[in-house]
Structure 1
Amino acid sequence: MRFLLLPLIALSLVACQAPASAPAQPTAPVQTPVYSYRVVGTYPHDTRAFTQGLLWLDGHLYESTGQIGQSTIRRVNLEDGEVLQSVSIPRGLFGEGLVDWGDQLISITWQDGVGYRWDRATFRRLGLWRYDGEGWGLTQNGREIIMSDGTHELRFLDPATLTERRRLAVTDNGVPVPRLNELEWVNGEILANVWQTPMIARIDPASGNVTGWIDLTALAIENGSGSDNVLNGIAYDAQRDRLFVTGKYWPRLYEIDLVAPSRGSVDSR
């Protein structure tokens, strides 16, 4: 999972419709909106957690962590960061994304092509499933499991069999956006961390277009400058409309509101 950094906010020239007798003229470059944020809550986060997946469920955070020999699935108390329940994934594997489905949790691994089903209440391992390529992030839209694999494509999986139904290419003004990592479904759109950057993409799940970027540069700087201490972890509390973000080995987890780029007001999720 090591790539050169590429520009995130892609620009494109869009041709105007011109009379047949005149050549088409390009318009000014179109820039994808960049959202800022307002911190409304700060909470402790385990600095030993190489955060891979994050979700909010039943009044708690559920988190998956990575690194061989350190990969876990855990249930965490928001207020004090205490790990209430934890299970290690099988030895020798590098844990990645996590998602809930029914009474289960589903997790994936990085380069081993194997994922696991866990009983959500007991964390008992129920079974495994296999996939081609790498596994990075997971979320769900109520009908399908959505998986990232480090490319610019998202895979949509059948929740019952976890077989692939289709793929969605993610682009910003027509330019592919690679390194899509941790995912979260928020009010009909997909939020995706872009690995080794302080940016979160807001993705239209119908078209794959990036409709906006969330710039969390200040939070990333505040929580460490190491190559591993990157932004990664998005969770959404739909009942209370709360958006949480954190990063790998970060000492803090944040609740944030989004601030629209043009009018400077809090974005309504």
Structure 2
Amino acid sequence: MKRLMCTFSLAFLALLIGCGASQDKKSAFKINSKANFNSIQQNSSIEFRVESNKQYKIDSIRVFLNQKKLEYKGNQLQIPNVQIGNHSLEVKVYASNELHELRKKIRILSDKPAKLWNYQVIASYDHDTSRYTQGLEFVGDTLYESTGQVGNSYIFAYNPFTGESFQKQELQPPYFGEGITLWNNRLIQLTWKGSKGFTYDKNTLKPTGDFSYNQSNEGWGLSHDQEYIYKSDGTEKIWKLSPETLEEQSFIQLGTNKSLFKNANELEIVDNKIFANVYLKESVMVIAKNTGVIQGILNFSELKKEITKDENWDENNSVLNGIAYHKERQSFFITGKNWNKIFEVRISPPSE
């Protein structure tokens, strides 16, 4: 089989948000530090002092991040291997039998750079070029595919190995179809800017309901693990949804050791890692599901060179999008919008 070992340097976007203390002007205390709270790495420490504007005697100080107590001793705050992103430190100062609370904005980044991952192409299969692919997911040998664009948004169920088609369901205008995932006997589909998603019977693709986005504005990619549905929305956030109500309950934020990063598109979760297409790029991010750290990058630009362009090709938008994992074959299936092929690949981390 043809082996493609790719080298890639991805310029991560810097998301600059000013951070600083957020505390009551009448507070008798303030945080004094020379540390850059806008760029603090995991597994590091920050030096800061809590000082009194009055003659208070400080009895103790406790510091919390996302309601979890952190170690603060000798003016040193230890930042463990927590979720990266924009957060707020809660500093509780006990003095003269009174409790005073301060808040400090903080941005936590990874302590390690992202690395280049490898892949090997082991097969390719025909793909309909009229499909503006937005989501892929396997159940056995059945591949579910969602497509986008208003008036051309569908869900298909078919066998890519034999070409046999099982079901097809159209999403009526004005909706623009986006990512899909399956939970039990229900297929869940996002729409782009419709602020609404739809559900279908997995076996028949007949519509069964809809749901609203309660916090995010857009729908991009979907995947799931044993506990949550995961949803990207074009920002640095990936939302965690209740599988029962599809309500957005919490989120992780994506980034490297340099900055936070937007534009995660189609998603696939395998072994506690989120594999995410990068919008308008021929690349996939490998993300630690629990922390949001971008651990690796896969450069699939060589695959695009294997594509035959036809009348459906759009030079600006016919990009890589679509990633699904086949559990029995232990391989990933990769395609793009209006591509004439689906590639079966094996993915591996870099050798140490």
TM-score bracket for the superposition, by shorter chain length? 0.7 to 0.9
Which of the numbers 89, 94, 98 marks the counterpart of 2:180?
98
**Equivalent residues in 2 for 1:171-190 (5 A)?**
171-190=255-274
The TM-score with structure 1 as length reference comes to 0.85
Structure 1 residue 239 corresponds to structure 2 residue 328: yes
SS at match of 2:302: helix
Residue of structure 1 in register with 2:160 after alignment? 78
For residues 127-184 of structure 1, the C-alpha deviation after alignment (integer angstroms, 9 at most, x for no partner) is: 1100140000000011110000011110000011111110100101141111110000
Q: How far apart, in 1, do the equivalents of 2:155 and 2:138 lie?
A: 13
The CA deviation string for residues 83-123 of structure 1, in whole angstroms up to 9 with x for no partner, is 43100012221000000011010001000101001001111
Contact 1:44 1:80 in 2 (8 A): no
Question: Larger C-alpha radius of gyration, 1 or 2?
Answer: 2
What does residue 215 of structure 1 align with?
299
SS in 2 for 1:48: coil
The Cα shift of 1:81 comes to: 4.1
Structure with higher RCO (Cα < 8 A, 6+ apart): 1
* CA–CA distance in structure 2, aligned partners of residues 94 and 231 of structure 1: 18
Cα distance, 1:7 vs structure 2 = 1.7
- Choose the corresponding residue for 2:193, options 99, 111, 125: 111
Runs of 4+ with deviation above 6 angstroms: none
**Take 2:163 and 2:221, find their aligned partners in 1: how far apart are those partners?**
22
Moved more, 80-89 or 186-195: 80-89
1:53 and 2:135 correspond:
yes
Q: Structure 2: which 5+ residue stretches go unaligned?
A: 1-9, 15-38, 45-110
Mapped partners of 1:121, 1:147: distance in 2: 23
| Aligned-residue identity in percent | 36
Aligned to 2:171: 89
Task: Please list every run of 5 or more consecutive structure 1 residues that lacks an aligned counterpart in the other structure.
Answer: 1-5, 18-28, 264-269
Give the residue type in structure 2 aligned to 1:191.
Answer: F
Q: Secondary structure at the match of 1:172?
A: coil
**C-alpha RMSD over aligned residues:** 2.6
- After TM superposition, the score normalised by the length of structure 2 is 0.66
Of residues 30-39 and 195-204 in structure 1, the stretch that sits farther from structure 2 once superposed is 30-39
The answer for the alignment partner of 2:318 in structure 1 is 229
Residue identity matched to 1:258: I
What letter corresponds to residue 79 of structure 1 in structure 2? F
Work out whether residues 45 and 81 of structure 1, in 8 Å CA contact, stay in contact via their aligned partners in 2.
Answer: no
Given that 2:231 and 2:241 are in contact with CA atoms closer than 8 Å, whether structure 1 keeps it comes out as yes
8 Å contact from structure 1 (residues 149, 181) kept in 2? yes
Offset of 1:198 from its aligned partner?
1.0
Contact 2:13–2:262, Cα closer than 8 Å, also in 1: no
Alignment: residue pair count:
248
